[in-house]
Chain A
Amino acid sequence: MSFQDDLNKLLGSSNPYAQLLGQKVKNINDALEAKTISADEAKDLLNDINVATQIANLAQDLENQILAQKVIDGLIYIIENISSI
C-alpha cells in the first residue's frame, strides 16, 4: 500500500475522527508540496497529530469513567427510592 492509498482510505473512513486525521495529514502534505511549510514544520505538525490521537484515546477513557459514574448514580437513586417505599 502506498502513502496515497492509505491516505485515501483514511479520508474515506466512516469514522469521523479518522477522516479528520486524514484531512490534517492531507493539508500538511499539500502544504509541503506547495513549499508553503518547511520539512521541519511538517514534522512538528505531524507530531501534534500524534499527540491529538493520544489525547483522543485518553478522552475516551475519561468519557467512559463519566458514563460509569452516571450509571452508578442512577442505580443508587433507584435503590434509594425502592428502600424508602
Chain B
Amino acid sequence: MKKIILILVFLISGCTTIMGPANFDNYEYGLINKIYTLSEIYKINCADSNRTKLNFDNLSVISMELVNYSTDIPNNEGTIKLVIPLYKMISSADIKMNTENHSITYCKLKLDNIETTSGIIKHAVAERRRP
C-alpha cells in the first residue's frame, strides 16, 4: 500500500512539474510592478510633451525587457500570453507619442489603460507559488 502511495505521489509531482505554471520570480514581478507604478506616476508629466516622449520610451524598454525575460523562463506560457499584448500596447503608444501630436487627456487615459492592464497581470503573477 505504501509503495502504491509513493508511486502515486511520484506520478502526480511529475505531472505538476510538467504542467504547472512557473514559480514566482522576483525580477519578473519587479518589471511588471515598475510598469504599473511608472504609468501612474507619468500621468503628472502629460502636459510636457518632451518628457512624455522620454517616459513612453522608458515604459517601452521595460516592457520589452519583460517579454525577453519572461520568454526564457520554463513553463511560463501563461505569463507570456499576458505580457506580449501589454508590450504591444506600450510600444504602439510610444511610437504614437514620438511621431504624432496628441492631447494631454489622451496621454493620461493611455497611461491609465497601461496601469489597469499591468495591474491585472501583476495581480495574477503575484499569486504564483513561491519556490
Contact = CB atoms under 8 A, between A and B. Distances in A.
A69 interface: yes
B113 A58 contact: no
Nearest to B6: A83
A61 to B, nearest CB: 7
Contacts of A24: 109, 112-113, 116
Contacts of A58: 78, 81-82
A72 B125 CA distance: 19
Interface string B1-31: 0100110110011011000110000000000
Interface string B90-119: 000000100000111110011011101100
A52 B120 contact: yes
Contact of A45 (B12, B113, B120, B121): B113
Given A76-B13, A79-B5, A70 B129 contact: yes
Interface string A21-37: 00010011001001011
Overall SS of chain A's interface: helix
B1 to A, nearest CB: 9
Interface residues of A, number: 39
A51 B85 contact: yes
Nearest to B1: A83
A17 B6 CA distance: 44
Contacts of A38: 103, 106
B72 interface: no
A80 interface: yes
B16 A59 contact: no
Interface in A68-85: 68-70, 72-73, 75-76, 79-80, 82-83
Given A55-B86, A79-B5, A83-B9, A48 B113 contact: yes
A65 interface: yes
A37 B102 CA distance: 8
Rank and list the top 10 A-B pairs by shortest CB-CB distance, nearest first.
Answer: A59-B124, A62-B78, A48-B113, A69-B20, A36-B105, A41-B106, A52-B117, A83-B5, A31-B105, A37-B106
